[in-house]
Amino acid sequence: MKFGKIFSSLAPYLAAAALVFLVLAFYVSIRVYKLFVYMDAKRELGTRAELAAMTLAEPLRTQDFAAVRAFGDVCRERGYELSVRASGGGRIFDTRRNPDDSTDRWLSAEASSGEYVVWLIRSRKEVFAPFRRTYRLFVLAALAGAAGVFVFFFALYRQRVRIRELARTEKFRREFVADVSHEIKTPLTGILGAAEMLSEGGASEAQKPLLAMVTKESKRLNALVQQILDLARLEREGETLDLAETDLVDLARETVESLRPRAEAAGIALSFAAPESPCVAKVDARLLSEALSNLVENAIRHSGSPDVEVSVASARDGVKIVVEDRGIGIPREHASRVFERFYRVDPARAAESGGAGLGLAIVRGIARLHGGDVVLSPASPHGCRFTLSI
């Protein structure tokens, strides 16, 4: 996470440096390519000048200037200008319209042919025509690349802004839910206490069922509010654990025994299996007991199983606590979502049993705070197996 934040802050500077490097590389490659084109054209022109000198050796020796002129016409058709000068410097023949033009727009090569010097001349514009075509392609590619880089980093910037907005919204939502839950919990506790006092006092026979319903629903709502507060606390950044060396065998056994009356009331056999040797880990005992309670209560409420088994075992990388039932199981399409907040596989059954879809989300939050996780897998031959790894 720390490396990701550093990279995120340095990303614009790295992008600018990369863009500067690409521009420099583009400029250098263009200059090198132009130099290669020039050297290749110069070498080719020198070779052709030597061939022209050999071809014109005999016409010049016999002063057959008609043949020289015909050869000059052929050269001009192929994009070359021909100039023949005497060794002393006098011009004998030149195909250029302005023979005195000595500007740098010409590229030339000379070769001796007896008493004469044959010059083969070519326009730099024609020499660098392939270069200009390639240069245009390079420029278009560079512009397209720059546009692509701009679009990419603009999209990255927009995404970062969106992520920050979502993070702020999520933080506000959590704080709002926690604050509202706190505000609800205080009067709810008063309502529950008043209902219990009335039911123990002089309530009439007609009022007692109503007070019992108020007490039951108040307890259910109080449990829901407490779950919301627990989940908000687990999701809060910087949450610390009260870690201590704990024997998870004893912790799991105590949790199972505390839930055994509830299982027996539901007609479910609750069993426990663990090795004789202790399984010690550094955990927050209160939170881990809460996570295990949620898993067992979930199996008692929703599995429809005649028995639930809790087992503890040492693993290579820690300790595993398994809660397994032989109930109806969870369909595969729901298995990946059961740990989401407020997600219920069967809303109708969950409403009857009082479930809000927060228990498994709390279990996952507690497991991940300890550096572990909880996974769901099918039991054999049917049912569910929740494995809590610490």
Q: Name the CATH topology of 2-127.
A: Beta-Lactamase (3.30.450)
The span from the CA of 324 to the CA of 98, in Å, is: 101
- Token pair recorded at residue 153: 């980093």
Question: Could you give the residue range(s) of every CATH 1.10.287.130 domain in the chain?
Answer: 131-235
Mean of pLDDT over the chain: 81
The vertex-253 CA angle with 248 and 259, nearest 5°, equals: 130
pLDDT score at 118: 86
pLDDT score at 237: 59
Question: Could you give the residue range(s) of every CATH 3.30.450 domain in the chain?
Answer: 2-127
pLDDT score at 223: 75
What's this model's pTM, rounded to 2 decimal places? 0.53
Q: Which CATH class is domain 244-389?
A: alpha beta
Question: Could you give the residue range(s) of every CATH 3.30.565.10 domain in the chain?
Answer: 244-389
pLDDT digits (tens, 9 = 90+) for 318-335: 899 999 988 888 888 788
Strand partners, 310: 272, 323
Strand partners, 318: 315
Low-confidence residues of the chain, pLDDT below 50? 1
Give 382's DSSP letter. Answer: S
What CATH number was assigned to the domain covering residues 131-235? Answer: 1.10.287.130
